[in-house]
């Protein structure tokens, strides 16, 4: 079988972390190939290497059997490789034709060739059923149509190999079906398509072959046949080798601390993101939330910290109802939060460590008196916490942006845990950290639960969930599919993650 693309042993390193580690990737001509993996598995990095945005440290790329060096997107396009990014690169006030003509040279010398291009685009659009009006302005188009403009643009530039990065993330289900129709037509036309995704249904619905990445490494490549199940793919995606071993004693859990009943909330687009979510956390317990990213984890965290309003249900902490309270109240009542995005949410990157350590309590009596900050106390606090949490930095005023990811996360841990929280909400607390820091964070969470705090742990890393949790809840499409005991198997969890509810799964 002819290969359109062959990537051999691609390695790409960022800041000493390998985003791709000797990854092999083969794309057959005239097929749709799924590139599957969790967030941060290295899918986009690999494709950016193919599209010339990144240069791999080592490895070879063959296109149509020829060894090539792709050092720019221009070069990639000349080789017939086109890419549609997650974020469209279109000029909104301009028309479809104008956008597509950008950067192309005109055949009529200094004059624009709009009419000819328009005719060609119409023909191309008809051929692949893209259904686009070349004269329409971008801002008038729906997101799905804008995506088709990007596809049309790639086709017009002669793309034989089209890379789509999470194309359905922005689409409604109907639009996604339309997109798949277009992709099938392209396949029938002999073109090859690479579909980056972490959604299993999608992969099963449309691709011929799938390559799975995990932690920057290739974990498998397989034909997708009628027999392929979500279960097969899930186990490939999350893997099973155990990285760390923690002594997790079975603790006697205490009284119920956090009660959540029939909680509902909407996402940023106004669509239901949490539906009838109910669970409880006791003192000393770690409740893990497994699930594929984007199934309501972010919204759950925000609701439980007062950052997002609920549409129904109630949140009770130690018997006190908290819904409709301000974020300040949630903090004061003892809910600590290790946010998913430490740069955007958890830290003020341009401020020093000392200031970041008091972000939540700078106005309290220890750190300010009569409205003025007490710099001596702030410095002392920083020195103490930096030692206690082993934060490595030149001094207490080192800007947080100059710290490594692990030390940044330790600053957040120090701030959140030193407040002696009742409940700790940890969303992806080890994402992007090296092994040492990961281990440290997990150890700290265990210590806190041993001290009697309740921990809600959200993680895309199933190993992490299995190692730390006393019970495991699985989120799918904003609902809890089931809450399993700590001895649950990867298979059971995987099925629930894929939205399959079975009879045998015991819900406690």
Partner 1 sequence: MLKENGIVKGFCHSVLPAVVTIALAFGVSALLLLFSSHSPIEAFSTLLTSAFGSPSRIAEVLIKTAPLMVMALGISVAFKSQVWNIGGDGQFTLGAIFAAFVALNLNLPGFIVLPVSFLAAFLGGALWGGLAGYLRAKFNANEVITTLMLNYVASYLLSWLIRYPMIDPDGHGFPQTSLLAQQYQLPIILSGTRLHVGILIALMIVLLGYLFWRSSLGFRIDLVGENEEAAKYCGINVSKTIILTMVISAGLCGVAGWGEVVGVQYRLLDNISSGYGNLAIVIALLGNLNPFGIAVSSFFFAALLVGGNTMQLMEGIPFSLITVIQGLVIVFVISRVVYTQWRDNVANRHFNRGAR
CA dihedral 399, 401, 405, 406 (to 10 degrees): 10
* 259 touching partner 1, by CB under 8 A: no
Of the candidate residues 222, 259, 351, 505, the single one contacting partner 1 (CB under 8 A): 351
Give the residue carrying structure tokens 């909400």: 425
Q: Which of 219, 349, 377, 505 binds partner 1 (CB under 8 A)?
A: 349
Nearer to partner 1, 385 or 493 (CB): 385
By C-beta, is 225 or 350 nearer to partner 1? 350
Residue count at the site for partner 1 (CB under 8 A)? 46
**For partner 1, the closer CB: 118 or 434:** 434
Site string for partner 1, 95-114 (x = CB under 8 A): --------------------
CA angle 426, 497, 255 (to 5 degrees): 45
For residue 374, give the nearest of 384, 363, 387 by alpha carbon.
363
Q: In whole angstroms, how close is the CB of 223 to partner 1 at the nearest point?
A: 30
- Helices 143-156 and 114-127 pack at an angle, to 10 degrees, of 110
- CA 226, 231, 233, 235 torsion-angle sign: negative
Q: Does 139 bind partner 1 (CB under 8 A)?
A: no
Taking CB under 8 A as the binding criterion, the range among 10-18, 24-32, 139-147, 228-236 that sits at the site for partner 1 is 10-18
Candidates 92, 119, 324, 328: give the one binding partner 1 (CB under 8 A). 328
Q: Are 52 and 71 in contact (CB under 8 A)?
A: yes
Name the phi and psi angles at 158, rounded to 5.
Answer: 90, 25
Closer Cβ to partner 1, 262 or 397, answer by number: 397
- What are the backbone dihedrals phi and psi of residue 144, each rounded to the nearest 5 degrees, phi first? -60, -40
Q: Contacts with partner 1 in 414-433 (CB under 8 A)?
A: 432
Q: Which is nearer to partner 1, 123 or 372 (CB)?
A: 372
Q: Is 319 in the site for partner 1 (CB under 8 A)?
A: no
Enter the DSSP assignment of 507: -
* Phi, psi angle pair for 295, to nearest 5°: -105, 20
> Closest approach of Cβ 266 to partner 1, in Å?
17
With binding defined as CB under 8 A, does residue 345 bind partner 1? yes
Among 305, 310, 428, 438, binds partner 1 (CB under 8 A): 305
Cβ–Cβ under 8 Å, residues 474 and 299 = no
Stretch that binds partner 1, among 65-73, 236-244, 339-347, 495-503 (CB under 8 A): 339-347
Q: How far is CA 340 from CA 192, 309, 310, 427, in A?
A: 35, 19, 20, 5
Residues 6+ apart with CB under 8 A from 384: none
Q: Does 45 bind partner 1 (CB under 8 A)?
A: yes
Residue range at the interface with partner 1 (CB under 8 A); choices 78-86, 111-119, 189-197, 305-313: 305-313
CA 456 to CA 270: how far, in whole Å? 25
Which of 33, 199, 214, 337 lies at the binding interface for partner 1 (CB under 8 A)? 337
Least distance to partner 1, CB of residue 35, Å: 16
CA distance 342 to 357: 13
Distance (Å, whole) CA 92 – CA 139: 5
**Is the sign of the CA dihedral 350, 354, 360, 366 positive or negative?**
negative
How far is 299 from 479, CA to CA, in rounded Å? 12
Question: Using CB under 8 A as the criterion, what x/- string covers residues 266-295 for binding partner 1?
Answer: ------------------------------
Name the residue nearer to partner 1 (CB basis): 40 or 421: 40
Which segment (28-36, 89-97, 343-351, 460-468) binds partner 1 by CB under 8 A?
A: 343-351
d(CA 214, CA 344): 25
> Among 10, 19, 101, 411, which residue interacts with partner 1 (rule: CB under 8 A)?
19
Residue in 73, 405, 452, 499 binding partner 1, rule: CB under 8 A: 405
How far is residue 419's CA from residue 340's CA, in Å, rounded to a whole number?
19
Query: Considering only 285-293, 347-355, 448-456, 465-473, which stretch makes contact with partner 1 by CB under 8 A?
Result: 347-355
Q: By the 8 A CB rule, do 356 and 347 touch?
A: yes
Cα atoms in the Cβ-side hemisphere of radius 13 Å centred on 368:
12
CB of 361 to partner 1, least distance (A): 9
What track of x and - describes contact with partner 1 for positions 352 through 391 (by CB under 8 A)?
--xx---xx-xx---xx--xxx-x--xx------------
Binding stretches for partner 1 (CB under 8 A): 14-15, 17, 19, 40, 44-45, 305-307, 326-332, 337, 339, 343-351, 354-355, 359-360, 362-363, 367-368, 371-373, 375, 378-379, 397, 401, 405, 432
């Amino acid at each position: 079988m002819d290969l359109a693309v062959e990537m051999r042993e691609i390695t790409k390193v960022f800041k000493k972390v390998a985003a791709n580690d000797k990854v092999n990737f083969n794309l057959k001509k005239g097929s749709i190939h799924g590139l599957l993996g969790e967030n941060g598995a290295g899918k986009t990095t690999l494709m950016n290497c193919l599209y010339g945005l990144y240069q791999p440290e080592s490895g070879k790329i063959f296109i149509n059997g020829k060894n090539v060096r792709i050092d720019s997107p221009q070069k990639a396009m000349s080789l017939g490789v086109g890419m549609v990014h997650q974020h469209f690169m279109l000029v909104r006030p301009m028309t479809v034709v104008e956008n597509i003509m950008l950067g192309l040279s005109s055949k009529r010398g200094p004059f624009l060739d709009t009419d000819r291009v328009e005719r060609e685009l119409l023909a191309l659009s008809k051929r692949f059923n893209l259904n686009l009006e070349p004269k329409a302005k971008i801002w008038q188009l729906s997101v799905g149509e804008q995506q088709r403009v990007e596809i049309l643009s790639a086709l017009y530039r002669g793309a034989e190999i089209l890379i789509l990065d999470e194309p359905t993330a922005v689409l409604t289900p109907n639009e996604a079906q339309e997109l798949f129709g277009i992709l099938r037509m392209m396949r029938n036309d002999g073109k090859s398509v690479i579909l980056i995704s972490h959604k299993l249904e999608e992969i099963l619905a449309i691709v011929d072959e799938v390559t799975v990445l995990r932690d920057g490494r290739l974990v498998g490549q397989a034909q997708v046949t009628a027999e392929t199940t979500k279960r097969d793919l899930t186990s490939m995606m999350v893997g099973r080798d155990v990285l760390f071993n923690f002594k997790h004693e079975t603790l006697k859990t205490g009284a119920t601390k956090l009660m959540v009943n029939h909680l509902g909330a909407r996402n940023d687009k106004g669509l239901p993101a949490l539906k009838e979510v109910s669970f409880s956390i006791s003192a000393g317990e770690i409740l893990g939330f497994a699930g594929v990213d984007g199934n309501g984890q972010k919204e759950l965290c925000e609701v439980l910290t007062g950052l997002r309003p609920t549409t129904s249900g109630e949140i009770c902490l130690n018997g006190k109802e908290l819904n409709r309270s301000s974020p300040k109240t949630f903090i004061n009542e003892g809910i600590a939060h290790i946010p998913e995005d430490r740069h955007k949410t958890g830290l003020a990157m341009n401020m020093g460590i000392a200031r970041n350590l008091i972000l939540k309590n700078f106005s309290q009596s220890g750190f300010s008196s009569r409205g003025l900050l007490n710099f001596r106390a702030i410095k002392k606090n920083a020195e103490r916490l930096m030692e206690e949490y082993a934060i490595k930095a030149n001094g207490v005023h080192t800007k947080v942006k100059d710290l490594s990811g692990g030390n940044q996360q330790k600053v957040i841990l120090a701030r959140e845990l030193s407040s002696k929280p009742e409940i700790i909400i940890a969303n992806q607390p080890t994402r992007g950290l090296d092994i040492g820091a990961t281990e440290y964070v997990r150890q700290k969470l265990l210590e806190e639960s041993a001290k009697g705090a309740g921990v809600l742990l959200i993680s895309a890393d199933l190993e992490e969930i299995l190692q730390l949790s006393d019970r495991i809840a699985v989120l799918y499409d904003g609902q809890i599919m089931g809450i399993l005991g700590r001895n649950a198997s990867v298979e059971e969890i995987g099925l629930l993650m894929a939205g399959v509810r079975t009879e045998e799964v015991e819900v406690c």
